[in-house]
Amino acid sequence: MSTITTSDGAQIYFKDWGTGQPVVFSHGWPLSADAFEDQMFFLASQGYRCIAHDRRGHGRSSQPWDGNDLDTYADDLAALVKALNLRNAVHIGHSTGGGEVARYIGRHGTERVAKAVLIGAIPPLMLKTEANPGGTPIEAFDQLRTAVLADRSQFWKELSLPFYGYNRPGAKISEGVRESFWLQGMLAGLPASYFCIKAFSETDLTEDLGRFDVPTLILHGDDDQIVPIGASAMLSSKLIKGATLKVYRGAPHGMCTTLKDQVNAELLAFIK
């Protein structure tokens, strides 16, 4: 397996497909690099070098107790970029991975970054606060924590329905996609499954978005039941200078899977 070792000893697994300009993918919770396989295969076939890592605690990476926070996730991403000596890279982040990309740029700058894409991403802040009245109440995230501790295997099965919009009338459900979601979720360790909830819900990425100085594309479904568009993409698109926002009508959180052909074409056009 291809891995790098971080400064605190965590082993981070990554896939590295194709040759050309690097495109680096950061996945969402509780998934792994596998969530981006459709995009990676497509772009690698188009002449790009596609790299995706399993975030610490997730997938095939090691499962440390510590470091399940966005600062460490961003530093792990920086370590991967440095180890592979990636330059002029396009960074694509979905959901929590979008927060990882934002914090990476906030902490490490854009010297090695050509462009950025945020898909169904968590920035600027998911949690409802006085300053962020459109956010999601803390009780919703407490319920996630309770469900993860009670029976996370069953919870991943249930979460796959709203994640892909399979709970909507007339939705064409793929049991295979649901099983893949469950499998990826079960590969995530319990500490990461639990602690990452605080990371993705309570981390304020407003200042990080202000540090973006590269072309940025924001894709979001207006029927995203996991990261509601109003408190995320609609705000991020105003905070990132010159960002392009594309709203997918009726699209769910897992649009990289359910609308993969559309997303792939969008990514290729933007990267080109």
Contacts of 237 (CB under 8 A, 6+ apart): 218, 243, 244, 245
Q: 224 catalytic, yes or no? A: yes
95 catalytic residue (yes or no):
yes
| Catalytic residue (choose from 95, 201, 232, 237) | 95
Q: Which of 224, 232, 236, 237 is catalytic?
A: 224
- One of 53, 91, 220, 253 is an active-site residue; which one? 253
Which residues are marked as active site?
A: 95, 224, 253
